[in-house]
Amino acid sequence: MDFRHTMKGRRALTAVAITTGLILTVAGCGGGDDGGSDKNTSSSAPTKSDGGDDKQESQAPPAQQALAEVKGGGLTLAVTSATRDEGGFVTVEGTVTNGSGKSWVAADWRGDERELAGNGGSIAGASLIDQAGKKKYLVLRDTEGRCLCTRFTGGLQSGETTEWFAQFPAPPEGTSEVTFQVGSMPPAPVELSEGE
């Protein structure tokens, strides 16, 4: 019995020592980050570089310049990027602007398939067409039929612009240009870029 009590006591002391050590270590790490000198150094460095980066930031918006832009039904659809990722898929991103003069709910963009009806107003009915390979790629879906794409919850009021994305299976490596199509919008030819 004395041996058991001794072992329990040693275990308790060991646990207290380890816990105290961890707390002091975490407190020591956290305390160093909150130091005023670190904040001043990091604040002053970006402030100085912000002056030089203004030129770079003014060049950043052209990076979001549209690869393709199509209009139809009062809507303007812009594709700003189409990136091939290592995972075997392509992510297409862009914006849609509602210039129709009324609210838009993307009903005809969700697609005709019964499985897609649960996605509501979305870009689930979009497709990529590989003209050279004569293949059509549909938006990827999870096991419950939800699209890997933007859902336009609440619609889009007249004059508003919102961003969207959609993911597709990647065409073969040699394919560098595809056509993006959704709803009754005209086809938009886009060039694929390689992801990092």
Q: Report the length, in residues, of the chain.
A: 196
Quick one: pLDDT at residue 91?
95
CATH number of 68-194: 2.60.40.1240
The pTM for the full model equals 0.64
Q: pLDDT at position 9, please?
A: 56
Distance between CA atoms of residues 97 and 150, nearest Å: 14
Which of 18-32, 54-68, 139-153, 171-185 has the least mean pLDDT?
18-32
pLDDT of residue 137: 95
Q: Which residue has the tokens 């950043």?
A: 60
Per-residue pLDDT band for 56 (boundaries 50, 70, 90) equals very low
* Distance in angstroms (rounded) separating the CA atoms of residues 163 and 118: 21
Model confidence band, residue 11 (pLDDT cutoffs 50, 70, 90): low
Instruction: Supply the pLDDT for residue 161.
Output: 94
Asked whether the predicted pLDDT for residue 87 surpasses 60, the reply is: yes
pLDDT digits (tens, 9 = 90+) for 104-135: 888 888 877 777 767 778 888 899 999 988 99
Domain ranges of the chain: 2-61, 68-194
Judged against a pLDDT cut of 60, whether residue 141 lies above it is answered with yes
**Which residue is associated with the tokens 């990827």?**
140
- Shortest CA distance to 124 belongs to which of 148, 93, 91, 99? 148
Calculate the average pLDDT of the chain.
75
pLDDT at 181 over 90: yes
**pLDDT by residue (tens digit) across 15-55?**
545 555 545 444 454 444 444 444 444 333 444 444 444 43
